[in-house]
Structure 1
Amino acid sequence: MPLAPSAFQALRTEIARIEAGRRTPSGVLPFDVAALDARLPSGGLALGALHEVAGGGDGAVNGAAAALFAAGIAARTQGPVLWCVTRPDLFAPALEQAGLSSNRVIYVEAGDEAGLLAAFEDGLRHGGFGAVVGELSRLSMTASRRLQLVAEDSGCIGLAVRRWRRQAEAADFGQPTAASTRWRVTALPSAPLPVAGVGRARWFVELIRCRAGDCADFELEACDETGRLALPAHLADRSFETPAWAGRAVA
């Protein structure tokens, strides 16, 4: 006999409780975009977890869209943000436009990725940051599992921004990690305006992996000055698809 949606959700909640063990759930950070939050099992990004984001196309190397996507998430958390890099090319005014004030950001410039991973892990373990961001080219299952466990213990959200020096190296993003979600963000042409000028930036956002959820993709307007995404006007009034896992629950 198929499960009713309420029973299915109760089962999912119980599984999450068992997986968490003695850890207290840290809650979620919703995007406040119904079509997007509906694809995430708890209605938003899990706090106390590691999330991974990479750029699509040329963004795999420059990392601009991925960094701004992460900045929008970090902007909606409370407290200071630790941002770890190995390349000193982060553009603070762009983070401001995505809602992340430079007054909140503490930058760590590591000499190599081993040092960056150590700083990333220590920042998550500290527990006093709203978010910890690390720009990485390589992220093994072992390293990602350590980051995920530390994030679970501290309740801090970790954001691994994947960047590569050559386009061919981006194939590494296909290797599995322990991140709760994995995203790919590709820049699209900006929104057209009725007058001369540049409209709001747009992204093609792919949810490539979601623990206890399904893959999905979205056309979205980029983060505004509050760190929030939005559906483009021509999509905003459409009804969004029922998540595949919900459809299976009543099939």
Structure 2
Amino acid sequence: MRDHAVNPVIAELRERIERLEGGTIQSRAVLPFGVPAIDGHLPGGGLVLGALHEVAGGGNGAIDGAAAASFAAGIAARTKGKVLWCMTRADLFAPALAQVGLPPGRVIYVEAGDEKALLSCIEEGLRHGGLGAVVGELARLSMTASRRLQLAAEGSGTIGIAIRRWRRQAEASDFGQPTASATRWRVSVLPSTPLPVPGVGRARWLLELIRARAGESADFEVEACDAKGRIALPSDVADGSPQKEIGRRFATA
């Protein structure tokens, strides 16, 4: 995990970017993670509400993809109101969402026939203004499409989360293309928290902040979302234990 001191040059650049973008980054409400090490890297101290954010799994296929969905669900769980979840494949495991604080009674599921229809559903949900969050599972997200979603989110104040899912690995390169999203995250599974007795501890993730508008990229080793959708820094990582390096080597392998 990188821990950068506040740099006056970077702070000045952030202010310039904010002025160019209309000064909306700091002025909008945010949803903090409650983890100072993470919130400190985000302008305003959290995820901007009324904005689009992207989440993708790492390189371990469905396993990391499930972690990305859980991360997105944890964010949505900490908002108020119903959550619209848009998808083209009906393979979402509702009990897993409930485990991170998003019970079935809060979720409205929309299954679209293709990604064009899916984008329309996401945009309409964001424009509605009466939802806590809108989540959409997308393989591709162009600058034009992301800009439309970003503008819809800005108009209503609803947070939008685009989970990037690919049917084939060749589509994964699209995640590197620029979009209008305020932040872009990648989630990879790490070994679970060790227990003093036989059993499986709390899941851990390598959480990478790849892009943050007017912010800096960073990576964090965290404990997965709890029953209220909250992540946390493992105690050994927070204390600077060698376990951090072990987890990083595992992720690289």
Aligned-residue Cα RMSD (Å) equals 2.5
**Pair 1:77-2:79 in alignment:** yes
Q: How does 1:25-104 map to 2 (within 5 A)?
A: 25-59=27-61, 63-104=65-106
Percent identity of equivalent pairs: 70
Deviations 1:16-51 (A, max 9, x none): 366347999440000000110011011000000000
Confirm or deny: 8 A CA contact 1:84 1:116 kept in the other structure: yes
Q: What is the letter of the counterpart of residue 126 of structure 2? A: L
Contiguous gaps of at least 5 residues in structure 1: 239-251
Confirm or deny: 8 A CA contact 2:57 2:186 kept in the other structure: yes
CA apart distance, 1:59: 3.6
Confirm or deny: 8 A CA contact 2:118 2:136 kept in the other structure: yes
**Pair 1:169-2:171 in alignment:** yes
Q: What is the letter of the counterpart of residue 53 of structure 1? A: V
Deviations 1:105-160 (A, max 9, x none): 00000011011000000000001000000000000000000000110111000000
**Whole-Å Cα distance in 1 between the matches of residues 212 and 232 of structure 2?**
20
**Whole-Å Cα distance in 1 between the matches of residues 177 and 203 of structure 2?**
29
Q: What is the letter of the counterpart of residue 43 of structure 1? A: G
Contiguous gaps of at least 5 residues in structure 2: 1-5, 241-253
**Who is 1:218 aligned against?**
220
| Residues 22 and 94 of structure 1, relative CA distance in 2, 3 Å threshold | closer
| Residues 8 and 213 of structure 1, relative CA distance in 2, 3 Å threshold | closer
| Residues 59 and 69 of structure 1, relative CA distance in 2, 3 Å threshold | farther
| Residues 190 and 111 of structure 1, relative CA distance in 2, 3 Å threshold | same
**Who is 2:142 aligned against?**
140
Q: TM-score, normalised by structure 2?
A: 0.86
Q: What SS does the aligned partner of 1:63 have?
A: helix
Q: What is the letter of the counterpart of residue 221 of structure 1? A: E
**Whole-Å Cα distance in 2 between the matches of residues 14 and 164 of structure 1?**
36
Confirm or deny: 8 A CA contact 2:25 2:43 kept in the other structure: no
**Whole-Å Cα distance in 1 between the matches of residues 97 and 104 of structure 2?**
8
**Whole-Å Cα distance in 1 between the matches of residues 139 and 11 of structure 2?**
36
Identify which range, 6-15 or 131-140, moves more after superposition.
Answer: 6-15
**Whole-Å Cα distance in 2 between the matches of residues 167 and 60 of structure 1?**
11
**Who is 1:111 aligned against?**
113
Which of 214, 237, 243 is 1:235 aligned to? 237
CA apart distance, 1:70: 0.3
Deviations 1:38-78 (A, max 9, x none): 11011000000000000001246872111100000000000
Confirm or deny: 8 A CA contact 2:64 2:189 kept in the other structure: no
**Whole-Å Cα distance in 1 between the matches of residues 25 and 175 of structure 2?**
29
Q: What is the letter of the counterpart of residue 149 of structure 1? A: L
Identify which range, 151-160 or 4-13, moves more after superposition.
Answer: 4-13
**Whole-Å Cα distance in 1 between the matches of residues 53 and 22 of structure 2?**
17
| Residues 171 and 18 of structure 1, relative CA distance in 2, 3 Å threshold | closer
Confirm or deny: 8 A CA contact 2:17 2:214 kept in the other structure: no
Confirm or deny: 8 A CA contact 2:146 2:181 kept in the other structure: yes
**Pair 1:184-2:205 in alignment:** no
| Residues 125 and 166 of structure 1, relative CA distance in 2, 3 Å threshold | same
Identify which range, 146-155 or 55-64, moves more after superposition.
Answer: 55-64
